[in-house]
Amino acid sequence: MRRKISVLRRTARVVTMPFTRFPRAPSLARAFLGCTLVLAVYPAHSDDQNPPGLAGIRSDINAKDLARIRGVTEPTGDFSKSEAFELMPGGAGTTKKRPNQDAFSQSSANITFEEEATFKLGNGLFRKVWVSAPSSTQASDGLGPLFNARACQSCHLKDGRGHPPEGAADSTSMFLRLARAADTEEEKRAVADHRALNFPDPVYGSQLQDLAVPGLAGEGRMKIAYEEIPVTLSDGTKLSLRKPTYSVENLGYGPLDPRTTLSPRVTPQMIGLGLVEQIHPADILALADPDDKNGDGISGKVSIVRDGATGELTLGRFGWKAQTPSIREQSADAFAGDIGISTPEVPKSWGDCTEAEAACLAMPVGVQERLGPVEAPPPVMDLVAFYSQNLAVPARRNMDKPNVLAGKKLFYESGCISCHHPKFVTRKDAPNKAQSFQLIWPYSDFLLHDMGEDLADGQQVGVATGSEWRTPPLWGVGLTKRVNGHTFFLHDGRARNLTEAILWHGGEAQAARDTFAGLSAADRQNLIDFLESL
């Protein structure tokens, strides 16, 4: 059983120093004034890869807190019963409402009555259907001109997981990222300095938009061809994996650049995002081992990006390639790329239209002078961000059943937790008390891992190579069918169930995948039962 996490925690050290050394921490002053500030200092995996100010120091806790955190987040070795607080994977914000089709749309259980009203207003804007400009509904116009969806909820179906086009279903909850790697020395410096993630197609931009406002042609349609790949497990069980190939048809503005790569992305579920945002960077940095110094075959690395608001280096933790540092920035990118709505963070009123798409740039936009220079002004972003930060994680189910406990043991002993790290305690100085100092169970390390050539998209995104992906959280994975009516998994939905998703794992996850493939049918089912209890 791999215990990289335990090794890192055992080698953590504690440094104490007077609080006066930190004059720029007014939010902490009330908690620690007159005390000694205790920093949890983890071994930096590589100083040249850590952003300035994020060198593995957790500055929000004292010695007592540190001891508590180390105790409760240590992976368990007792699988005879469930763990304390395991019922509540989202901490005090966990929703205990009956898990039905709205299981991912509940508000955090620990927000205030006033915040509940803010959450509902944000929900209304998340579901808001935007229309093309000009329109009599001036608060709702500005769609496109090129777009993939008319509302946030159209992509994040029931706040859950998207799917590839199946039968008569369209591709609303799945789209193609368009990008090429750096060519020139200037472009390479921009990527190295984290000023660019990659470079868009010169005609079609960074995302293929298949829809357009009246009078304008869409950019094209995503086409998927599947090949069935037979797989035989060690006990003789025969399965089939579907291997997709992607292309674009009906291009409306000429050919794609030959250097442009296509990366399919299904929309991820929305639960627990505010808690993920409040995991202290030191706890993520502590799990990184990009050079595999401990020799366990797992070499996760942090995604370093620039904060869109401040320009400072920080950790990316959202998106399939961990390319986005905050929920607000993720929301703004989606407004611009998916719907074509400008925000203060991304003031692109023509969305992803490029100079080569002159007809798009000639279309009217929805900017109202009385509301400011963008289509979705700051109050809209405040409400949408708050809503996204407070979608609750559902309570666990069946966690004390013998088959689930047996599956949990297999999941841990197979090495799955080397990437799907079970637990964190969020930072104590979180801006909202609802996310402060919560024990959470996302089952992710939020690091980038090489998943092998079979899952590679060939598209570099910042520090992420074409075969690297962020470990997706597993909380709520067992409710996907109930909420979204399907069981398609992985970044492109190629896996039709959890078993297929595991069997597609390669690269750093090859050993864990092979262990799963070598289990008996009963043991494999127990492991799946554990995942479906999350």
Closest CA to 264 of 504, 492, 496: 492
pLDDT reported for residue 517: 98
* Tally of structural domains, the chain: 1
Residue 443 belongs to some domain of the structure: no
Per DSSP, 468 falls in state E
Q: What is the per-residue burial (b if ≥16 Cβ within 10 Å, else e) of 7-40?
A: ebbeebeeeeeebeeeeeeeebeeebeeeebbbb
For 419-463, give the DSSP string: TS---EE--TT-SSGGGTT-EE-------EEE--GGG-----BTT
Residue 244 belongs to some domain of the structure: yes
pLDDT reported for residue 135: 87
pLDDT in tens, 62-97: 989 988 999 999 999 999 999 999 999 999 999 999
Residue 408 belongs to some domain of the structure: no
pTM of the model: 0.90
Residue 119 belongs to some domain of the structure: yes
pLDDT reported for residue 58: 86
pLDDT in tens, 402-431: 999 999 999 999 999 999 999 999 999 999
| H helix or E strand, kind and range, residue 6 | helix 4-10
pLDDT reported for residue 168: 59
Q: 3-class secondary structure for 254-322?
A: CCCCCCCEEEEEECCCCCCHHHHHCCCHHHHHCCCCCCCCCCCCCCCECEEEECCCCCCEEEECECCCC
pLDDT reported for residue 172: 81
pLDDT reported for residue 178: 98
Distance CA 152, CA 338 (A): 8
Residue 149 belongs to some domain of the structure: yes
Residue with tokens 């400072």, as numbered in its chain: 312
pLDDT reported for residue 51: 58
Residue 165 belongs to some domain of the structure: yes
Tokens of 108: 């955090």
Q: Is the dihedral of CA 32, 35, 36, 42 positive or negative?
A: negative
Closest CA to 472 of 511, 498, 437: 498
Contact 50, 56 (CB under 8 A): yes
Residue 533 belongs to some domain of the structure: no
CA angle centred on 419, ends 207 and 457, rounded to 5°: 30
Q: Is the dihedral of CA 366, 368, 372, 377 positive or negative?
A: negative
Q: Sheet containing 13-18: give its strands across.
A: 13-18, 36-41, 57-58
Per the structure, the complete domain to which residue 217 belongs is given by: 113-270+318-389
Could you tell me which residues are beta bridge partners of residue 303? 316
Residue 366 belongs to some domain of the structure: yes
Positions in the chain short of pLDDT 70: 1-55, 167-171
